[in-house]
Amino acid sequence: MNDLFSPAHIGKVTLANRIVRSATYEGMCDNQGFPTDAYLAHYSGLAKNSIGAIITGFTYISSCGRAMHPRQGGIDDDSKITAYRRVTDHVHSLEGKIFMQIAHCGRQTVAKAVRGPVRGVSTKRSSYFGGIPKKLTTEEALALGQRFADAALRCKEAGFDGVQIHAAHGYLVHQFILSSINNRNDIFGVDQKTGIGTHFLEVVIDKIREICGSDFPVMVKISSGDDYRNNFSQEHFIHLIRFLGYKSVDAIEISYGTMDYALSIFRGRSVPLDLILKYTPKYDTYGIVGRFLRKRFLYPFVKSRLKMFTPMYNLSYAKIAKQYTGVPIICVGGFRKKQEMAGALERNETDFVSLCRPFICEPDLVSKLMANDGYTAKCLDCNMCAVMCDSSNATRCYLGKGA
Protein backbone atom coordinates (compact mmCIF):
# COMPACT_ATOMS: atom_id res chain seq x y z
CA MET A 1 0.00 0.00 0.00
CA ASN A 2 1.33 3.44 -0.96
CA ASP A 3 1.15 6.15 1.67
CA LEU A 4 0.80 9.78 0.60
CA PHE A 5 3.80 10.82 2.65
CA SER A 6 6.01 7.77 2.18
CA PRO A 7 9.28 8.15 0.23
CA ALA A 8 9.13 7.12 -3.42
CA HIS A 9 11.37 6.96 -6.47
CA ILE A 10 11.31 8.27 -10.02
CA GLY A 11 14.15 6.40 -11.61
CA LYS A 12 17.00 6.58 -9.15
CA VAL A 13 15.83 9.88 -7.68
CA THR A 14 14.36 9.56 -4.18
CA LEU A 15 11.37 11.77 -3.39
CA ALA A 16 10.24 12.66 0.12
CA ASN A 17 6.57 11.91 -0.65
CA ARG A 18 4.16 11.07 -3.46
CA ILE A 19 2.84 14.56 -4.13
CA VAL A 20 3.92 16.19 -7.40
CA ARG A 21 3.60 19.81 -8.48
CA SER A 22 2.42 19.33 -12.06
CA ALA A 23 3.91 21.49 -14.80
CA THR A 24 2.47 24.99 -14.52
CA TYR A 25 3.20 27.94 -16.80
CA GLU A 26 5.02 30.58 -14.76
CA GLY A 27 5.22 33.68 -16.97
CA MET A 28 8.44 34.54 -15.14
CA CYS A 29 11.11 34.41 -17.85
CA ASP A 30 12.35 37.24 -20.04
CA ASN A 31 11.58 37.57 -23.73
CA GLN A 32 14.54 35.35 -24.62
CA GLY A 33 13.41 32.58 -22.28
CA PHE A 34 15.96 33.17 -19.51
CA PRO A 35 14.67 32.64 -15.94
CA THR A 36 14.32 35.83 -13.92
CA ASP A 37 14.67 36.44 -10.19
CA ALA A 38 10.90 35.93 -9.93
CA TYR A 39 11.29 32.45 -11.47
CA LEU A 40 14.01 31.65 -8.93
CA ALA A 41 11.88 32.89 -6.03
CA HIS A 42 8.88 30.94 -7.30
CA TYR A 43 10.65 27.59 -7.35
CA SER A 44 12.52 28.26 -4.12
CA GLY A 45 9.15 28.96 -2.50
CA LEU A 46 7.77 25.64 -3.70
CA ALA A 47 10.90 23.72 -2.71
CA LYS A 48 10.79 24.87 0.91
CA ASN A 49 7.26 23.48 1.27
CA SER A 50 7.98 19.74 1.15
CA ILE A 51 6.63 18.89 -2.32
CA GLY A 52 7.88 15.47 -3.41
CA ALA A 53 8.69 16.52 -6.99
CA ILE A 54 8.37 19.84 -8.78
CA ILE A 55 7.90 19.90 -12.55
CA THR A 56 8.52 23.23 -14.26
CA GLY A 57 6.17 24.84 -16.72
CA PHE A 58 6.53 23.79 -20.36
CA THR A 59 9.88 24.99 -21.65
CA TYR A 60 10.61 25.30 -25.35
CA ILE A 61 13.42 23.24 -26.88
CA SER A 62 13.60 25.43 -29.99
CA SER A 63 12.48 28.98 -30.71
CA CYS A 64 10.40 27.60 -33.60
CA GLY A 65 8.30 25.78 -31.03
CA ARG A 66 7.72 28.42 -28.39
CA ALA A 67 4.23 29.31 -27.21
CA MET A 68 2.35 32.53 -27.82
CA HIS A 69 2.86 33.35 -24.13
CA PRO A 70 5.46 36.13 -24.07
CA ARG A 71 7.29 35.02 -20.92
CA GLN A 72 7.71 31.29 -21.47
CA GLY A 73 10.99 29.69 -20.44
CA GLY A 74 13.39 28.24 -23.00
CA ILE A 75 16.13 25.62 -22.83
CA ASP A 76 17.10 25.96 -26.48
CA ASP A 77 20.60 27.30 -26.05
CA ASP A 78 23.69 26.47 -23.97
CA SER A 79 23.86 30.08 -22.78
CA LYS A 80 20.87 29.39 -20.52
CA ILE A 81 22.46 26.55 -18.55
CA THR A 82 24.09 28.80 -15.96
CA ALA A 83 20.86 30.73 -15.33
CA TYR A 84 18.91 27.54 -14.68
CA ARG A 85 21.74 26.12 -12.55
CA ARG A 86 21.12 29.00 -10.18
CA VAL A 87 17.52 27.81 -9.82
CA THR A 88 18.31 24.14 -9.26
CA ASP A 89 21.03 24.98 -6.74
CA HIS A 90 18.49 26.92 -4.66
CA VAL A 91 15.91 24.14 -4.92
CA HIS A 92 18.42 21.48 -3.89
CA SER A 93 19.67 23.60 -0.99
CA LEU A 94 16.09 23.40 0.31
CA GLU A 95 16.06 19.59 -0.21
CA GLY A 96 13.67 19.84 -3.15
CA LYS A 97 13.63 17.84 -6.38
CA ILE A 98 12.96 19.59 -9.67
CA PHE A 99 12.33 18.26 -13.18
CA MET A 100 12.05 20.35 -16.33
CA GLN A 101 9.19 19.79 -18.75
CA ILE A 102 10.52 20.10 -22.30
CA ALA A 103 8.17 20.91 -25.15
CA HIS A 104 7.59 22.08 -28.71
CA CYS A 105 4.22 23.62 -29.50
CA GLY A 106 3.97 22.46 -33.10
CA ARG A 107 0.79 23.92 -34.60
CA GLN A 108 -0.42 25.27 -31.24
CA THR A 109 1.24 28.66 -31.48
CA VAL A 110 1.24 31.74 -33.72
CA ALA A 111 3.66 33.04 -36.34
CA LYS A 112 4.35 36.19 -34.32
CA ALA A 113 5.73 34.12 -31.44
CA VAL A 114 7.99 31.89 -33.53
CA ARG A 115 8.92 34.69 -35.95
CA GLY A 116 8.24 32.54 -38.95
CA PRO A 117 5.89 29.87 -40.22
CA VAL A 118 4.18 27.70 -37.63
CA ARG A 119 5.37 24.12 -38.05
CA GLY A 120 3.18 21.06 -37.65
CA VAL A 121 2.96 17.33 -38.09
CA SER A 122 0.59 17.93 -41.00
CA THR A 123 -1.12 20.86 -42.66
CA LYS A 124 -4.24 20.31 -40.55
CA ARG A 125 -5.05 23.49 -38.69
CA SER A 126 -5.89 23.87 -35.02
CA SER A 127 -9.49 24.98 -34.52
CA TYR A 128 -8.33 27.36 -31.79
CA PHE A 129 -5.01 28.71 -33.09
CA GLY A 130 -6.07 28.76 -36.75
CA GLY A 131 -3.71 29.12 -39.67
CA ILE A 132 -2.40 26.31 -41.84
CA PRO A 133 0.88 25.00 -40.42
CA LYS A 134 3.84 24.18 -42.61
CA LYS A 135 4.31 20.42 -42.56
CA LEU A 136 7.61 19.22 -41.12
CA THR A 137 9.73 17.19 -43.50
CA THR A 138 11.11 13.85 -42.33
CA GLU A 139 14.54 15.44 -41.95
CA GLU A 140 13.15 18.37 -39.97
CA ALA A 141 11.28 16.00 -37.64
CA LEU A 142 14.46 14.02 -37.03
CA ALA A 143 16.31 17.25 -36.30
CA LEU A 144 13.66 18.26 -33.77
CA GLY A 145 14.05 14.88 -32.09
CA GLN A 146 17.70 15.77 -31.64
CA ARG A 147 16.74 19.21 -30.32
CA PHE A 148 14.70 17.53 -27.58
CA ALA A 149 17.75 15.47 -26.64
CA ASP A 150 20.05 18.50 -26.69
CA ALA A 151 17.59 20.31 -24.42
CA ALA A 152 17.52 17.35 -22.02
CA LEU A 153 21.31 17.40 -21.84
CA ARG A 154 21.20 21.10 -20.98
CA CYS A 155 18.73 20.25 -18.22
CA LYS A 156 21.13 17.66 -16.86
CA GLU A 157 24.05 20.08 -17.00
CA ALA A 158 21.89 22.73 -15.31
CA GLY A 159 21.29 20.39 -12.38
CA PHE A 160 17.71 19.28 -12.96
CA ASP A 161 16.84 15.92 -11.44
CA GLY A 162 15.29 14.75 -14.71
CA VAL A 163 13.02 15.81 -17.55
CA GLN A 164 9.43 15.34 -18.54
CA ILE A 165 8.64 15.10 -22.25
CA HIS A 166 5.40 16.98 -22.94
CA ALA A 167 3.48 14.50 -25.09
CA ALA A 168 0.05 15.79 -24.07
CA HIS A 169 -2.34 18.71 -24.55
CA GLY A 170 -2.04 18.83 -28.34
CA TYR A 171 1.57 19.97 -28.52
CA LEU A 172 4.01 18.61 -31.11
CA VAL A 173 4.70 15.15 -29.68
CA HIS A 174 0.99 14.66 -29.06
CA GLN A 175 0.24 15.78 -32.62
CA PHE A 176 2.35 12.90 -33.91
CA ILE A 177 0.42 10.47 -31.69
CA LEU A 178 -3.08 11.48 -32.80
CA SER A 179 -4.48 10.01 -36.00
CA SER A 180 -6.90 12.95 -36.18
CA ILE A 181 -3.87 15.19 -36.86
CA ASN A 182 -1.13 12.88 -38.15
CA ASN A 183 -1.81 11.86 -41.75
CA ARG A 184 1.84 11.35 -42.67
CA ASN A 185 3.05 8.48 -44.83
CA ASP A 186 6.71 8.56 -43.78
CA ILE A 187 8.38 6.89 -40.78
CA PHE A 188 6.55 9.27 -38.45
CA GLY A 189 3.07 8.29 -39.58
CA VAL A 190 0.43 6.45 -37.57
CA ASP A 191 0.91 2.72 -37.09
CA GLN A 192 -2.01 0.94 -38.72
CA LYS A 193 -2.06 -1.81 -36.08
CA THR A 194 -2.24 0.44 -33.03
CA GLY A 195 -3.88 3.54 -34.53
CA ILE A 196 -1.33 5.87 -32.94
CA GLY A 197 1.95 7.46 -34.02
CA THR A 198 4.73 6.79 -31.52
CA HIS A 199 7.87 6.86 -33.65
CA PHE A 200 8.67 10.52 -33.04
CA LEU A 201 8.30 10.02 -29.28
CA GLU A 202 10.50 6.94 -29.55
CA VAL A 203 13.19 8.95 -31.34
CA VAL A 204 13.05 11.60 -28.60
CA ILE A 205 13.30 9.03 -25.79
CA ASP A 206 16.12 7.11 -27.47
CA LYS A 207 18.17 10.21 -28.23
CA ILE A 208 17.79 11.50 -24.67
CA ARG A 209 18.92 8.15 -23.29
CA GLU A 210 21.84 8.11 -25.71
CA ILE A 211 23.33 11.44 -24.66
CA CYS A 212 22.09 11.75 -21.05
CA GLY A 213 22.55 8.14 -19.94
CA SER A 214 20.06 5.65 -18.56
CA ASP A 215 20.35 7.02 -15.00
CA PHE A 216 18.89 10.41 -15.94
CA PRO A 217 15.12 10.17 -15.30
CA VAL A 218 12.81 10.64 -18.27
CA MET A 219 9.10 11.09 -17.59
CA VAL A 220 6.38 11.46 -20.22
CA LYS A 221 3.12 13.38 -19.87
CA ILE A 222 0.25 12.08 -22.00
CA SER A 223 -3.42 12.81 -22.61
CA SER A 224 -5.86 10.00 -21.93
CA GLY A 225 -8.43 11.36 -24.37
CA ASP A 226 -9.43 14.38 -26.43
CA ASP A 227 -12.52 16.20 -27.65
CA TYR A 228 -12.15 15.65 -31.38
CA ARG A 229 -14.80 13.75 -33.29
CA ASN A 230 -12.26 11.16 -34.48
CA ASN A 231 -11.18 10.79 -30.91
CA PHE A 232 -8.40 9.02 -29.08
CA SER A 233 -10.02 5.84 -27.76
CA GLN A 234 -9.37 3.74 -24.68
CA GLU A 235 -7.77 1.15 -26.95
CA HIS A 236 -5.39 3.79 -28.30
CA PHE A 237 -4.59 4.82 -24.73
CA ILE A 238 -3.72 1.24 -23.77
CA HIS A 239 -1.44 0.91 -26.80
CA LEU A 240 0.33 4.12 -25.75
CA ILE A 241 0.77 2.90 -22.18
CA ARG A 242 2.20 -0.39 -23.41
CA PHE A 243 4.59 1.46 -25.71
CA LEU A 244 5.87 3.64 -22.85
CA GLY A 245 6.30 0.54 -20.71
CA TYR A 246 8.31 -1.06 -23.50
CA LYS A 247 10.52 2.06 -23.62
CA SER A 248 11.04 1.84 -19.84
CA VAL A 249 10.37 5.49 -19.15
CA ASP A 250 10.68 6.45 -15.49
CA ALA A 251 7.13 7.73 -14.94
CA ILE A 252 3.97 8.49 -16.91
CA GLU A 253 1.75 11.42 -15.98
CA ILE A 254 -1.89 11.01 -17.01
CA SER A 255 -3.70 14.16 -18.14
CA TYR A 256 -6.34 14.88 -20.78
CA GLY A 257 -7.11 16.83 -23.91
CA THR A 258 -5.65 19.43 -26.25
CA MET A 259 -5.48 23.21 -26.24
CA ASP A 260 -8.27 23.36 -28.81
CA TYR A 261 -10.57 22.69 -25.84
CA ALA A 262 -8.23 23.81 -23.09
CA LEU A 263 -10.84 24.06 -20.35
CA SER A 264 -11.30 20.30 -20.58
CA ILE A 265 -7.66 19.96 -19.47
CA PHE A 266 -7.90 22.22 -16.41
CA ARG A 267 -11.58 21.81 -15.65
CA GLY A 268 -13.44 24.50 -13.79
CA ARG A 269 -16.75 24.85 -12.02
CA SER A 270 -17.70 27.64 -14.45
CA VAL A 271 -16.28 29.26 -17.60
CA PRO A 272 -14.76 32.77 -17.19
CA LEU A 273 -15.86 33.74 -20.68
CA ASP A 274 -15.48 37.51 -20.39
CA LEU A 275 -11.87 37.11 -19.27
CA ILE A 276 -11.18 34.69 -22.10
CA LEU A 277 -12.51 37.15 -24.66
CA LYS A 278 -10.58 40.03 -23.09
CA TYR A 279 -7.15 38.49 -22.53
CA THR A 280 -6.76 35.70 -25.06
CA PRO A 281 -4.64 36.96 -27.99
CA LYS A 282 -6.90 35.22 -30.49
CA TYR A 283 -9.85 37.41 -29.48
CA ASP A 284 -8.32 40.71 -28.39
CA THR A 285 -8.22 42.08 -31.94
CA TYR A 286 -11.88 41.45 -32.70
CA GLY A 287 -13.26 44.49 -30.88
CA ILE A 288 -16.38 44.74 -28.74
CA VAL A 289 -18.77 43.65 -31.48
CA GLY A 290 -16.66 40.68 -32.51
CA ARG A 291 -16.33 39.50 -28.92
CA PHE A 292 -20.08 39.88 -28.39
CA LEU A 293 -20.87 37.78 -31.46
CA ARG A 294 -18.49 35.05 -30.38
CA LYS A 295 -19.96 35.05 -26.91
CA ARG A 296 -23.50 34.86 -28.28
CA PHE A 297 -23.09 32.33 -31.09
CA LEU A 298 -19.76 30.46 -30.87
CA TYR A 299 -19.58 29.87 -27.12
CA PRO A 300 -22.67 27.59 -26.86
CA PHE A 301 -21.11 25.25 -29.44
CA VAL A 302 -17.72 25.18 -27.72
CA LYS A 303 -19.28 24.75 -24.28
CA SER A 304 -21.09 21.62 -25.45
CA ARG A 305 -17.71 19.94 -25.86
CA LEU A 306 -16.12 21.15 -22.63
CA LYS A 307 -15.89 18.96 -19.55
CA MET A 308 -16.56 20.54 -16.18
CA PHE A 309 -14.80 19.87 -12.89
CA THR A 310 -15.39 16.64 -11.02
CA PRO A 311 -13.12 15.23 -8.31
CA MET A 312 -10.11 13.24 -9.55
CA TYR A 313 -11.31 13.45 -13.13
CA ASN A 314 -8.41 11.55 -14.73
CA LEU A 315 -8.16 8.79 -12.12
CA SER A 316 -10.15 6.24 -14.13
CA TYR A 317 -7.46 6.30 -16.81
CA ALA A 318 -4.67 6.09 -14.25
CA LYS A 319 -6.32 2.91 -12.98
CA ILE A 320 -6.34 1.50 -16.51
CA ALA A 321 -2.69 2.42 -17.00
CA LYS A 322 -1.77 0.57 -13.81
CA GLN A 323 -3.22 -2.61 -15.34
CA TYR A 324 -0.94 -2.47 -18.38
CA THR A 325 2.44 -1.31 -17.09
CA GLY A 326 4.72 -1.39 -14.10
CA VAL A 327 5.98 2.11 -14.85
CA PRO A 328 5.08 4.52 -12.01
CA ILE A 329 1.88 6.41 -12.78
CA ILE A 330 1.30 10.05 -11.85
CA CYS A 331 -2.31 11.23 -12.00
CA VAL A 332 -3.21 14.91 -12.33
CA GLY A 333 -6.63 16.53 -12.33
CA GLY A 334 -9.16 17.29 -9.62
CA PHE A 335 -7.34 16.24 -6.45
CA ARG A 336 -8.49 18.68 -3.78
CA LYS A 337 -9.05 16.68 -0.58
CA LYS A 338 -6.41 14.84 1.38
CA GLN A 339 -8.76 11.87 1.72
CA GLU A 340 -9.09 11.68 -2.08
CA MET A 341 -5.32 11.69 -2.56
CA ALA A 342 -4.64 9.16 0.18
CA GLY A 343 -7.46 6.90 -0.97
CA ALA A 344 -6.28 6.77 -4.59
CA LEU A 345 -2.83 5.71 -3.41
CA GLU A 346 -4.11 3.21 -0.85
CA ARG A 347 -6.25 1.54 -3.53
CA ASN A 348 -3.19 1.40 -5.81
CA GLU A 349 -5.03 3.38 -8.50
CA THR A 350 -2.01 5.64 -8.99
CA ASP A 351 1.54 5.87 -7.64
CA PHE A 352 1.67 9.66 -7.32
CA VAL A 353 -0.91 12.45 -7.16
CA SER A 354 -0.17 15.62 -9.08
CA LEU A 355 -1.63 19.09 -8.63
CA CYS A 356 -1.33 22.36 -10.53
CA ARG A 357 -3.81 25.09 -9.61
CA PRO A 358 -3.92 24.30 -5.87
CA PHE A 359 -0.19 25.08 -5.62
CA ILE A 360 -0.77 28.45 -7.29
CA CYS A 361 -3.25 29.20 -4.52
CA GLU A 362 -1.30 27.53 -1.69
CA PRO A 363 2.42 26.89 -2.17
CA ASP A 364 2.44 25.47 1.38
CA LEU A 365 -0.34 22.97 0.63
CA VAL A 366 1.73 19.88 1.49
CA SER A 367 2.44 21.16 4.99
CA LYS A 368 -1.28 21.71 5.53
CA LEU A 369 -2.10 18.23 4.24
CA MET A 370 0.45 16.75 6.62
CA ALA A 371 -1.09 18.54 9.58
CA ASN A 372 -4.78 17.90 8.90
CA ASP A 373 -6.36 14.65 7.71
CA GLY A 374 -9.53 16.46 6.70
CA TYR A 375 -7.85 19.25 4.78
CA THR A 376 -9.28 20.48 1.46
CA ALA A 377 -7.30 22.73 -0.88
CA LYS A 378 -8.59 26.29 -1.05
CA CYS A 379 -8.45 26.50 -4.85
CA LEU A 380 -11.87 27.53 -6.20
CA ASP A 381 -11.25 26.10 -9.70
CA CYS A 382 -12.32 29.47 -11.10
CA ASN A 383 -9.66 29.20 -13.83
CA MET A 384 -8.77 32.88 -13.72
CA CYS A 385 -5.13 31.86 -13.27
CA ALA A 386 -5.31 29.70 -16.40
CA VAL A 387 -6.96 32.35 -18.56
CA MET A 388 -4.51 35.02 -17.42
CA CYS A 389 -1.62 32.91 -18.71
CA ASP A 390 -2.50 34.49 -22.05
CA SER A 391 -1.73 37.93 -20.65
CA SER A 392 1.74 39.31 -19.91
CA ASN A 393 1.21 38.75 -16.18
CA ALA A 394 3.10 36.19 -14.14
CA THR A 395 0.93 33.29 -13.03
CA ARG A 396 -0.79 33.87 -9.70
CA CYS A 397 -4.04 33.24 -7.83
CA TYR A 398 -6.78 35.82 -8.43
CA LEU A 399 -9.83 34.77 -6.40
CA GLY A 400 -8.81 32.04 -3.98
CA LYS A 401 -7.15 32.29 -0.59
CA GLY A 402 -3.83 32.70 -2.37
CA ALA A 403 -4.91 35.98 -3.97
Reduce the secondary structure of 109-129 to three states and give it as a string: CCHHHHCCCCEECCCCCCCCC
> Which one-letter DSSP state was computed for residue 70?
T
- Report the distance separating Cα 310 and Cα 303, nearest Å: 16
- Report the distance separating Cα 92 and Cα 115, nearest Å: 36
- Answer yes or no: are the C-beta atoms of 363 and 323 closer than 8 Å: no
DSSP string of 350-393, one letter each residue: -SEEEESHHHHH-TTHHHHHHH-TT-B-------HHHHGGGSSS
Closest to 50 in 3D by CA, of 91, 3, 100, 9: 91
- Answer yes or no: are the C-beta atoms of 35 and 29 closer than 8 Å: yes
- Report the distance separating Cα 83 and Cα 95, nearest Å: 19
- Domain spans of the chain, in order of start: 8-266+309-390, 272-305
Characterize the bridge pairing of strands 53-55 and 352-355.
unpaired
Predicted pLDDT at 221: 99
Predicted pLDDT at 297: 53
- Dihedral angle, C-alpha 385, 389, 392, 393, nearest 10 °: 20
Amino acid (1-letter code) at residue 368: K
- Dihedral angle, C-alpha 252, 258, 262, 264, nearest 10 °: -70
Sign of CA dihedral 199, 250, 258, 386: negative
Residues 6 or more apart whose Cβ sits within 8 Å of residue 223: 168, 169, 170, 174, 232, 255, 256, 257, 258, 265
Helices (H) and strands (E) in the chain, counts: 15, 13
- Report the distance separating Cα 100 and Cα 348, nearest Å: 26
Kindly give the confidence (pLDDT) of every residue in the chain, 403 residues in length, as a single tens digit, with 9 standing for 90 and above: 579 999 999 999 999 999 999 999 999 999 999 999 999 999 999 999 999 999 999 999 999 999 998 899 999 999 999 999 999 999 999 999 999 999 999 999 999 999 999 999 999 999 889 889 999 999 999 999 999 999 999 999 999 999 999 999 999 999 999 999 999 999 999 999 999 999 999 999 999 999 999 999 999 999 999 988 778 999 999 999 999 999 999 999 999 999 999 999 999 988 877 777 666 666 555 556 555 555 555 555 566 668 889 999 999 999 999 999 999 999 999 999 999 999 999 999 999 999 999 999 999 999 999 999 999 999 999 988 988 887 788 999 988 665 5
- Answer yes or no: are the C-beta atoms of 327 and 244 closer than 8 Å: yes
- Report the distance separating Cα 274 and Cα 131, nearest Å: 24
- Is CATH 1.10.10.10 correct for 8-266+309-390? no
Predicted pLDDT at 299: 57
- Report the distance separating Cα 117 and Cα 111, nearest Å: 5
- Report the distance separating Cα 313 and Cα 307, nearest Å: 10
- Report the distance separating Cα 311 and Cα 331, nearest Å: 12
